[in-house]
Structure 1
Amino acid sequence: MSSASTDKTRVLIVGGGAAGISAAYAFSLHPDRFDVTLYERSSSPGGMATSTPIDKDKYGADYINDGVQGASPVFHNTYAIFERLGFNASDVGMQPGHRQVEYLDQHFLHFVLDDATHNFLRFGDDIKKFGKVLKVIKALEPLFALISVSAMLRMFRFSKEFGEVIVFPLVALFFGTGNQTPFISCAILERVFMDPNMRLFEYSAESFLASIPTMRAFPRLSTLYSAWKSLVEEQGQGSVRVINEREVTRVERSSAKKRGGVQVWSRSTGGTDNEQSVVDPGEEHQETFDELVICTDADAALTILGKDARWKERRILGNVKYLWDVTVTHNDLEYMEKYYRVQYDSCLRSMQDPDNVDKQKKFEFAEKHFSPLYFIRSYPNDKRKVEMSFDLTVYQPQFDGVSPEGIKPDSLSKGSDTASGIPLKEHVFQTIFLDNSPESVRFWSKDEINPDKVILQKWWKQQSHRWQHYAGTVPWMGLINGKVGASSGPSLYQDHKHMANRITPISPVHGPFSVELHSHRRVEQV
């Protein structure tokens, strides 16, 4: 296993997702000081950033990224790492679609906002008030960080429908919070509108969104992580080893700060299956390390620590709530057309200001370039609960012939208004059914997807992003990092936000470096 030298600190990193491989990368910058082993229980690094081969003759591309699609342009360090590895993301205009009766899009938002007679804006007053409330939240952010979105909407007397039709679906779709959206901190909502470093949306007092947000679609992530693994090991000059198909089962830490204070038990695996369970586990093997960096979700961290977990670790990590979602990647156009607005329909045009030249130009653009890549619908019996889908053929650049390494910097970026020539009936879709609790499963329509058109079904463990998470876990992580020979990577509290795990590549490590990579510019200078 590890081959440590006596004058180096022996470090074990548990987990090879975005956080773990970032920590390994940071350690590899100092091969003279650290001897590092990373154990990842699956067959490849990347965590949720996985790629799956598909039939190119049938679908127009030979792979999909099935776990992580892309990210906002604000995640500069992510793209800096991409560039360093020789990869690039592709810009894509983000057209979202609601369910059939309530479609939300830059060009059709007024359909939702008009009332039945098209004489006045249905949510006009709420939308204007929303802009003012965002300023209040920004001014009092520490207070509102502990207030949920649903509580904020009630506090400022927004209509119930405004939350259900506009706010909850929008945040669930673009922020990845799913059915937990009513319970997330409203300070997070404010930041995606107001914070210059986190902004996803441009607010409009008339149409809620002033423009189509730009996203970036990722290159082939399995290839990227393979390249990153190679870079880490090469840069580490033999002092860093990334080992797949090995699971850490338990650890014991000495309370005294001394070398060899971390005892670790691990076992070989045959990788993980589509339910995230270990395949063919082997016998346990014991090793000794000086330091431990845990880059797993909080549940897994507590399982690994077991009885060795201190009360602060149990309290802080145990506060994180997890849910299980399932993605169904499929080619069932009938299902998509039943529940979503997949094709252009002129009836969606707003009847207000028919002589407005600018608006008519937008309608013409929409008719020619209608190609939503995000879809969302609320369940009629509980509009707080949602189902989300993607058109991967529109979203992912390989369907336009872009190489697995991504679009070249001097090339035009892919946009959703330049959809591939692949017929709609051959498009690859992915539908996400959220939270397998009985309260949510009863609304699922997963069984309506034609089994013959299912390409892949996969389960994912997701954190809830409740406001309690930001009150009871995030501010207190420093109390358990670097204590008793252990540090915790950001996947403990950002486990399904792939891009966030790389905002600060050294964040899993408790201050061992003189050079910190806190921004894109700093990354480029290293």
Structure 2
Amino acid sequence: MATGSPRTKVAVVGAGAAGMSCASTLAQKGDQFEVHLFDSASQTGGQATSIALDARYGATWLNDGVQGGSPIFRHTFNFFRRYGYEPQPVKLQVSFGKGTDSFFTNIFPSPLVDKFSGEIQKLGRVLKWIKLLMPLLGILPVKVILRLFRFSHDFGNRMVLPLIALFLGTGNQTPNVSSVLLERLFDDPQMKLWDYDPDTLLPNQPAMYTFPNLGDFYRDWTSYLDSKGVKVRLQTGLEILKRDSKKGVDLRIWDDSTHSSERRWEGIVHDEHFDELVLCVPADEAKKMLGKHATWREKYVLGGVNFYDDVTITHSDANYFNSIFETRYKAELCGKASSETRSEQIAFAKQTPRCRKDGWEGFAPMYYTHSFKQDPQKIEMGFDCTNYQHQFRQALGEDSLSFEQDRHVYQTIFLNKEDSDLWTWESIDKDKIIGEKWWHQFGHNWQHYTRVVPGMMFINGRNRTLYAGSWTMVVSVCLYCVFQPLTGTEYA
């Protein structure tokens, strides 16, 4: 762009991870772009939020949404460090199932692991076939792959589906997830969370990282964007009035601080013109925002992403949490000490949990699931945030015993509002509830990869509109689709 030519005026809608990244990238070329970042919320960050805690829990804050990630999140970690925030390492401990017939963990062998030893090894071979025949097998739902290769129902329901649901965030839609995600969970050099273990399925204590205080981080990131000339406009509602491939986009903008659809017109600011529109919101929200202005292609592609309403209850009810998950080592949960490695794992798990800088010595799980007996393909998930997030360990100090269980901060995640008749949330002591947060979750079903992913090329960039919502496709693909046409470079 020639010096002195007018800057391109861009409206970025959605101030979550995708919207903030988009605004930050465009801000690097401030001589070319005038960036306006909109969100109806009162803060940036989207689902990456923090809440205040009573000091009796040992820490004064908690990341109550996004909590951490694996080493593959290296770009995210570098971004944290750019603003003076350091992710903290933790050795991951997980607990799947409840009772000897469904429990397994990555810390020590269990009777379930012994029972399905042959199928665990078989799964390793099937993963190689999925990778080899990716265009054919990779698109098939996990439930079809399990039937096709003749895995038992119990192995699929008790081990494979909970594993995918917990670590890929696919919830109760896991049976419909494309098997390529299962393969990449273990095998893809750029995406895998950890290596496949032919003995216990999951590796023992793989490296993970917990995020810094996300509320503070997004506050500082927002200040940086402001200093670069980005106009951050929060508690603001939008309506698309017109899109023209040559003339640009007209928006109606109003103060949304009342969060009331009935009163939205009371706070109208004005109508405003933009050269480009970037929708960094979920696909269904983008479709709704387009309304009558959506083309048939946009309706078809954006309508191919399914969403489900989940809720996370943050609480300190140890009795409830212990009743639905396996939280402590028990001899009856232990499998055969058939090798030196297994004997060492069992000896480690038997210890009274002691705090370490990067986790816990002894069995102190952080991630949990259990399946419903009446519907074994559906699960509830949980976190022991005290065992997981680093600020609690820092408060204790190395070599200390854990806080008393009733001082732990837990989260139980109830999946898909349509399945609420299965939920156990009524059993949580109401006096011990710290917070409640609803999620509008993206379901990675197989249709998403046959309809939305290939269809995005036919709508992105048309009518001066680009799509970059994290839960529209996947962040790495979407951000490239946005930043490359606008800036000529890929965001890294």
TM-score normalized with structure 1 length: 0.86
State the partner residue of 2:465. 486
Q: 1:339 to 1:278 in 2, by over 3 A?
A: farther
Q: How far apart, in 2, do the equivalents of 1:243 and 1:40 lie?
A: 7
1:460 has 2:439 as partner: yes
Shift of 1:279: 10
Write the letter of the residue equivalent to 1:267.
Answer: W
Cα distance in 2 for partners of 1:67, 1:473 equals 26
Which secondary structure does the structure 2 equivalent of 1:512 belong to? helix
Aligned residue for 1:198, secondary structure, equals coil
Q: 1:405 corresponds to which residue?
A: none
Provide the residue aligned with 1:445 in structure 2. 424
In structure 2, what is the equivalent of residue 19 of structure 1? 18
What is the CA distance between 1:145 and its match in structure 2? 3.0
Q: Which residue of the partner structure matches residue 78 of structure 2?
A: 80
- % identical aligned pairs: 38
* In 2, Cα distance between equivalents of 1:181 and 1:447: 25
Q: Are 2:137 and 1:144 aligned?
A: yes
1-structure distance, mates of 2:138, 2:246? 36
Q: Classify 1:25/1:400 alpha carbon distance in 2 versus 1 (closer, same or farther; 3 Å).
A: same
Q: CA deviation at 1:492?
A: 4.4
Match for 1:357 among 332, 340, 349? 340
Which secondary structure does the structure 2 equivalent of 1:267 belong to?
Answer: strand
* Residues 363 and 309 of structure 1, relative CA distance in 2, 3 Å threshold: same
* Equivalent in 426, 449, 462 of residue 470 of structure 1: 449
Seen in structure 2, the aligned counterparts of structure 1 residues 280 and 94 have a Cα distance that, compared at 3 Å, is farther
Q: Does 2:180 align with 1:194?
A: no
User: Deviation digits for residues 277-335 of structure 1, max 9, x if unmatched?
Assistant: 87974433311111100000111101111100011110000111111001100000010
Residues 124-523 of structure 1: pairs in structure 2 closer than 5 A? 124-234=117-227, 236=228, 238=229, 240-254=230-244, 256-258=245-247, 261-270=248-257, 281=264, 282-284=266-268, 285-353=270-338, 356-368=339-351, 369-401=362-394, 421-437=402-418, 440-494=419-473, 501=475, 507-518=481-492
Distance 2:181 2:219 in 1: 33
Q: Distance between the aligned counterparts of 1:41 and 1:426, measured in 2?
A: 35
CA gap 1:187/1:107 in 2 versus in 1, 3 angstroms: same
**Distance change (3 Å), C-alpha of 1:53 and 1:508:** farther
SS in 2 for 1:173: helix
SS in structure 2 at match of 1:208: coil
CA distance in 2, matches of 1:395, 1:279: 42
CA positional deviation for 1:78: 0.8
1:453/1:22 Cα in 2 relative to 1: closer, same or farther (>3 Å)? Answer: same
Counterpart code for 1:43: S
SS at match of 1:338: helix
d(CA) in 2 for partners of 1:178 and 1:418? 35
Counterpart-to-counterpart distance in 1, 2:400 and 2:330: 18
SS of structure 2 residue aligned to 1:341: coil
Contact preservation (8 Å) 1:23, 1:507: no
Partners of 1:78 and 1:503 within 8 A in 2: no
Distance 2:216 2:262 in 1: 23
Aligned residue type for 2:41: S
Query: In structure 1, what is the Cα distance between the partners aligned to 2:400 and 2:89?
Result: 13
Equivalence for 2:29 = 30
Q: How much does 1:179 deviate? A: 0.3
- Structure 2 counterparts to residues 62-77 of structure 1, below 5 A: 62-77=60-75
Question: 2: distance between equivalents of 1:508 and 1:420?
Answer: 49
Identify which of structures 1 and 2 has the higher relative contact order when contacts are C-alpha pairs closer than 8 Å and 6+ apart: 1
Superposition deviation, residue 486 in structure 1: 0.7
Q: How many angstroms apart in 2 are the aligned matches of 1:53 and 1:204?
A: 39
Distance 1:202 1:211, change over 3 A: farther
> Structure 1 CA distance, aligned partners of 2:25 and 2:414?
36
Flag the 1:72–1:42 CA change in 2: closer, same or farther, 3 A: same
1:309–1:492 distance in 2 versus 1, CA, 3 Å:
farther
Tell me which residue corresponds to 2:355: none
Deviation at 1:345, TM superposition (A): 1.3
Q: Is the 8 A contact 2:315 2:411 kept in 1?
A: yes
Contact in 2 for aligned 1:270/1:279 (Cα 8 Å): no
Whether the 8 Å contact between 1:482 and 1:510 is mirrored in structure 2 is no
| Structure 1 counterpart SS, 2:311 | strand
Q: Could you tell me which amino acid in structure 1 is paired with residue 257 of structure 2?
A: G
Q: Distance in 1 between matches of 2:480 and 2:283?
A: 19
Residue 497 of structure 1 is matched in structure 2 by: none
Q: Is the 8 A contact 1:504 1:517 kept in 2?
A: no
Q: Give the Å deviation of 1:6.
A: 7.2
Q: d(CA) in 2 for partners of 1:148 and 1:112?
A: 24
Mapped to 2, the partners of 1:433 and 1:335 lie a distance apart of 14
1:423–1:48 CA distance, 2 compared to 1 (3 A): same
In 2: Cα distance, 1:156 partner to 1:271 partner: 54
Residues 504 and 301 (structure 1 numbering): CA distance in 2 closer, same or farther, change over 3 Å? Answer: closer
Alpha-carbon offset, residue 229 of structure 1: 1.1
Structure-2-length-normalised TM-score: 0.92
Cα 1:72–1:141 shift into 2, 3 Å: same
Distance 1:233 1:9, change over 3 A: same
Compute the RMSD of aligned alpha carbons: 2.2
Distance 2:373 2:416 in 1: 17
Structure 1 residues 511, 459: closer, same or farther in 2, change over 3 A?
same
Q: For residue 343 of structure 1, report the CA deviation from its aligned partner.
A: 1.6
Residues 86 and 506 (structure 1), Cα distance of their counterparts in 2 relative to 1, 3 Å cut? farther
Corresponding residue SS for 2:182: helix
CA offsets per residue over residues 247-271 of structure 1, 9 Å max, x none? 21334201x413xx21101221227
User: What amino acid sits opposite 2:365 in the alignment?
Assistant: P
Q: Residue in 1 aligned with 2:45?
A: 46
Deviates more, 1:308-317 or 1:126-135: 126-135
CA contact (8 A) 1:335 1:449 kept: yes
d(CA) in 2 for partners of 1:47, 1:419: 35
Q: Which has the higher helix share?
A: 2
2:87 is the counterpart of 1:100 = no
- In 2: Cα distance, 1:376 partner to 1:12 partner: 40
How far the C-alpha of 1:357 sits from its partner, in A, is 3.4
Change (3 A) 1:342 1:60: same
Number of aligned residues: 475
The separation in 1 between residues aligned to 2:239 and 2:272, in whole angstroms, is 12
Distance 1:83 1:136, change over 3 A: same
